[in-house]
């Protein structure tokens, strides 16, 4: 992998490693945002627990995914890419926060790009 591709790969690795960890940790503090606002009422009504508990579970998954990106970039980036697509689909089907859904699709493409770079550089 040439120096430019290596630089881009490193930037994406740290972005898609650290951002999910920070967002995951914030699910427990709500400093950035009250994450429960992104949960559709229809989905929350299907859960056997409240929205805050659900966000805690989401936070643990996001922290794990971020760590996975840092340790195993190809696998972690694929997990983060799929996770972001699932979040976007949830928002689209909920009919709210469509701007966030579009942003998450763009981020999923970036994470998938990291996976491809990681695979070719291995």
Query: What pLDDT score was predicted for residue 121?
Result: 58
Distance CA 102, CA 40 (A): 17
Report CA-CA distances (Å) from 118 to 7, 23, 42, 48, 83. Answer: 12, 23, 38, 39, 18
Instruction: Quote the pLDDT of residue 57.
Output: 94
- What is the structure's pLDDT at 39? 85
Which residues are CB-contacts of 46 (< 8 A; sequence separation ≥ 6)?
none
pLDDT at position 41: 79
- pLDDT one digit per residue (tens) for the chain, 122 residues: 799 999 999 999 999 999 999 999 999 999 999 998 888 878 888 999 998 999 999 999 999 999 999 999 999 999 999 999 999 999 999 899 999 999 999 999 999 999 999 987 55
**pLDDT recorded at residue 84:** 97
Q: Please state, in angstroms and rounded to a whole number, the distance separating the CA atoms of residues 70 and 78.
A: 12
In this structure, which long-range contacts are made by residues 92-96, counting pairs with CB atoms below 8 Å and at least 24 apart in sequence? 93/40, 94/40, 94/42, 94/43, 96/40
Measured between alpha carbons, how far is 49 from 39 in angstroms, rounded to an integer? 13
Q: Which of 40, 79, 42, 47 is nearest to 62 (CA)?
A: 79
Q: Is-contact 40 94, C-beta < 8 A?
A: yes
Domain extent listing, the chain:
3-121
């Amino acid at each position: 992998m040439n120096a430019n591709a290596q630089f881009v790969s490193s930037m994406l690795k740290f972005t898609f490693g650290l951002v999910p960890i920070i967002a995951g940790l914030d699910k427990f503090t709500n400093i950035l945002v009250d994450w429960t606002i992104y949960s559709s009422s229809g989905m929350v009504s299907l859960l056997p627990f409240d929205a805050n508990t659900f966000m805690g579970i989401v936070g643990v998954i996001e922290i794990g995914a971020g760590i996975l990106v840092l340790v195993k970039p190809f696998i972690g980036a694929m997990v983060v890419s799929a996770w972001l697509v699932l979040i976007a689909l949830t928002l689209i089907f909920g009919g709210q926060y469509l701007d966030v859904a579009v942003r998450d699709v763009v981020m999923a493409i970036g994470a998938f790009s990291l996976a491809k770079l990681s695979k070719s550089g291995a």
